[in-house]
């Protein structure tokens, strides 16, 4: 059987591998990013100013760092107490916290998506997709034997294809369809990009081929890179912009040329980001409650964005 010929825009790998390798090595520095220690007392004074009741003993950056240790190393809270207690013997300015305090403070962290706009390009191209996260480590045999099914978590994200940053994030259960999260994600992307880094195009597969999504892109002035059905109507059946995109695909000579012009192949950057996140943080979650699972996923995505910004 003859080998299928690869088609589409070839990906030019122009990386300087010495620089790329150094960036990967620098990611290890993230585990010991302890700059907050020099500002410990100043941060606490700011947090406790005007506070009623028991004052804070640990600044917010320290709690955020411990949250990263929790998701990066998959370390339970009691082991985290021992970890920071031993670390404090080498760094006298660091004050150890008990596991109860760590748990309570981490649960109260602001988990808004952490984005670094300054590393974005002038015209941002977005790739949107979703992926599943396991909620249990039991294997296929256990599921087949005992007929146990707990479902999975669904992560909906919009990725900047230039920097691989996550610019929009929604975490749901598996019952939520991809297209329902498109507009909320788009709102987040606009908020994070602002006017200095306008969105140029949004790339998405056929799951997002909906009239209302094309209309949403048209109202915002974004070009659509959404794959439409092969038999899609060329006249307006709910979205004039979708019909225009279908006519353009036909006028350009079909799907291959359309994908070349719209750079649709760069949509793989979303799948690449999901792959990186799962390789670094694992394919499952440790939390057992629904809310805890969602929070853990958000912490992982925030830590991933911090890694991206650190080596950019």
- Copy the structure tokens of residue 263: 């750079």
Q: Is the pLDDT of residue 151 over 90?
A: no
Q: Report residue 267: phi and psi, to 5°.
A: -65, -20
Q: What is the rounded (10 degree) CA torsion for 40, 42, 46, 52?
A: 70
Q: What is the pLDDT of residues 1-21, one digit of tens each?
A: 455 665 556 667 788 888 888
Give residue 33's pLDDT: 81
Cβ-in-10-Å burial (0-12, 13-18, 19+) of 90 comes to: exposed
Domain boundaries, the chain: 17-107, 117-286
Distance CA 130, CA 208 (A): 11
Q: What is the pLDDT of residues 284-311, one digit of tens each?
A: 888 888 899 999 999 999 999 998 888 7
First to last CA, the chain: 44
Question: Which pLDDT band holds residue 195 (cuts at 50, 70, 90)?
Answer: confident
Q: What is the pLDDT of residues 208-220, one digit of tens each?
A: 999 999 999 999 9
Q: What is the mean pLDDT of residues 87-111?
A: 92
- Copy the structure tokens of residue 142: 């256990």
CA distances from 212 to 156, 201, 240 (A): 18, 16, 10
State the architecture of 117-286 in CATH terms: 2-Layer Sandwich (3.30)
Distance CA 1, CA 287 (A): 48
Give residue 2's pLDDT: 53
Q: What is the pLDDT of residues 33-86, one digit of tens each?
A: 888 999 999 999 999 998 888 999 999 999 999 999 999 888 999 999 999 999
Q: Report residue 93: phi and psi, to 5°.
A: -70, -15
Give residue 208's pLDDT: 95
The DSSP secondary-structure symbol of 260 reads H
DSSP SS3 for 31? helix
255 pairs with which residues across the strands?
Answer: none
Distance CA 65, CA 52 (A): 25
DSSP SS3 for 273? helix
């Amino acid at each position: 059987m003859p080998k299928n010929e690869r088609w589409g825009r070839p990906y030019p790998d122009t990386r300087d591998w010495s620089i790329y390798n150094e960036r990967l090595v620098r990611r290890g520095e993230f585990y010991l990013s302890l700059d907050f220690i020099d500002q410990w007392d100043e941060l606490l004074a700011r947090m406790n100013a005007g506070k009623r009741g028991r004052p804070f003993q640990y600044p917010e950056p320290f709690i955020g760092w411990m949250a990263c240790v929790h998701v990066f190393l998959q370390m339970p809270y009691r082991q985290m107490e021992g970890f920071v207690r031993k670390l404090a013997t080498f760094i006298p300015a660091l004050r150890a916290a008990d596991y109860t305090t760590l748990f309570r403070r981490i649960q109260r962290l602001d988990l808004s998506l952490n984005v670094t706009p300054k590393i974005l390009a002038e015209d941002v191209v977005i790739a949107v997709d979703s992926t599943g996260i396991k909620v249990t480590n039991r294997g296929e045999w256990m599921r087949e034997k005992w007929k146990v099914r707990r479902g999975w978590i669904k992560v909906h994200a919009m990725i900047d294809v230039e920097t691989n940053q996550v610019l929009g994030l929604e975490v749901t259960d598996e019952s939520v369809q991809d297209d329902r999260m498109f507009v909320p994600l788009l709102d987040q992307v606009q908020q994070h990009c602002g006017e200095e880094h306008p969105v140029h195009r949004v790339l998405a597969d056929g799951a997002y081929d909906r009239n209302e999504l094309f209309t949403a892109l048209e109202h915002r002035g974004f070009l659509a890179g959404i794959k439409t059905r092969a038999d899609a109507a060329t006249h307006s059946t709910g979205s004039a912009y979708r019909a225009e995109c279908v006519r353009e695909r036909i006028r350009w000579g079909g799907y291959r040329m359309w994908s070349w012009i719209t750079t649709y192949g760069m949509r793989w950057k979303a799948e690449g980001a999901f792959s990186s996140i799962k390789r670094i943080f694992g394919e499952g979650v440790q939390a057992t409650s629904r809310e805890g699972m969602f929070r853990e996923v958000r912490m992982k995505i925030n830590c991933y964005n911090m890694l991206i910004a650190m080596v950019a």
